[in-house]
Amino acid sequence: MDIGVQENQLSELKLKCNHIRQQIIKMVHHAQSGHIGGSLGATELVVSLYYHLMKHRPDDPLWPQRDRFVLSKGHCTPVLYAVLADLGYFPQEDLWTFRRPGSHLQGHPYQPKTPGVEATTGALGIGFSTALGMALVAKQRKEDHYYYVVCGDGEIQEGEIWEAAMFANKYKLDNVIAFVDRNYLQTDGNSEDIMPLDPLAPKWEAFGWSTFEIDGHDIGQIIETVTRARDCQGPVMIIANTVKGKGVSFMENAVGWHGGVPSQEDTDKALTELTNGA
């Protein structure tokens, strides 16, 4: 099927991911605090949405017809802030105030302060429900924009997620396209040891959601799947298989990089790897 993405666009998006990953490393190193692993792992998802799939206007963040993005796994602000700054929602130099007193770039997204941030999230589960409330209003008003949500896989252990899953099905929220960033790692270890989630797709289907399962680092597949998801009747959950820490060899699949802070040496090594890989 024609998904409207050319080879040259794909290479540009890949380059963009590389740049965003470098920014993530620099931000967390500069702040000496933040969540690198989940941010690196979600980079293709967030980049594909903001640079290809979503209609939005960085110079008019509250443009009513825009698609909305809610980062429900709110700890992964580095990837979101790096993208919003790159697009011009706020100055690039703000990134170096991340997690500092007085900054609008809080550790977790804070909607009232940061241009482009649609919802205040961070307490896991809340962003997902909030996005559904927003989507319900838009559906009632027969508006045609979409609500894109990214949840962590650890996050969906929250009871609220399953409350929300029932709610979206009740109101047939066909303007919601959500992702589970399925990297199998959460703070304390492997999700299947901590609180098993598999089999994931049947759970969502039992709750009335359409599901897709994709490689969450394959930009072409992300774009194609979201394009198909728009034609589904109700809410859609895309299970995006990802590698936590993707793009930096020593951070990949290493649980310590959930909230770990890179030293100067780690930072140099990571940036060199990314520069060479670009």
Partner 1 sequence: MELKQTRQGYVDALIELGQEVPELVVLDADVGKATLTLQFQEKYPDRFFNCGVQEQNMLAVAAGMSLEGKIPFASTFGVFATCRAGDQLRNAIAYPKANVKLGITHCGLSVGGDGASHQSNEDMAIVRSFPNMTLLVPGDYQEARLATKAAIYHQGPVYLRLGRDKYPVVPEIHGSFEIGKAKILKRGQDITIVSTGIMISEALKAHQQLTDSGISTRLIHMPTVKPLDDEVVLTAARETAGIVTVEEHSVIGGLGEAVAGVVTGTHPCPVQRIGVQDVFGESGMAPDLFDKYGLRAANVVAAAHQILNRIKTKTP
37 or 122: CB nearest partner 1: 122
Kindly give the residue spans of alpha helices, DSSP state H, lying in the chain: 7-31, 37-41, 43-48, 77-87, 126-140, 159-170, 191-194, 200-206, 219-229, 264-277
In the complex, what is the shortest distance from the CB of residue 96 to partner 1, in angstroms, rounded to a whole number? 24
Q: Closest separation between CB of residue 221 and partner 1, Å?
A: 29
In the complex, what is the shortest distance from the CB of residue 7 to partner 1, in angstroms, rounded to a whole number?
38
Would you say 39 or 120 has its CB closer to partner 1? 120
The minimum distance between CB 106 and partner 1, in angstroms, equals 10
Among residues 14 and 145, whose Cβ is nearest to partner 1?
Answer: 145
Nearer to partner 1, 167 or 201 (CB): 167
**For residues 133 and 189, which CB has a smaller minimum distance to partner 1 in the complex?**
133
Smallest gap from Cβ 144 to partner 1, in A, equals 14
Which of 223/237 has CB closer to partner 1? 237
Give all strands of the β-sheet with 68-71 in edge-to-edge order.
Answer: 68-71, 147-152, 176-182, 236-241, 210-215
CA–CA distance, 94 with 99 (Å, rounded to integer) = 11
CA separation for the pair 241, 255 (Å, rounded): 16
Residues that bind partner 1 (CB under 8 A): 110-112, 118-120, 122-123, 125-126, 128-138, 140, 159-160, 163-164, 166-167, 170-171
Output the six-digit token pair for 68.
């909305």
C-alpha torsion angle, residues 267, 269, 272, 277 (rounded to 10): -110
Could you count the other beta carbons within 10 Å of the beta carbon of residue 112?
A: 7
Shortest distance (Å) from residue 12 CB to partner 1? 32
Long-range residue pairs from 105-112, CB within 8 A, at least 24 positions apart, any chain: 105/77, 105/81, 106/77, 107/33, 107/34, 107/75, 107/77, 108/74, 108/75, 108/77, 109/71, 109/74, 109/77, 109/80
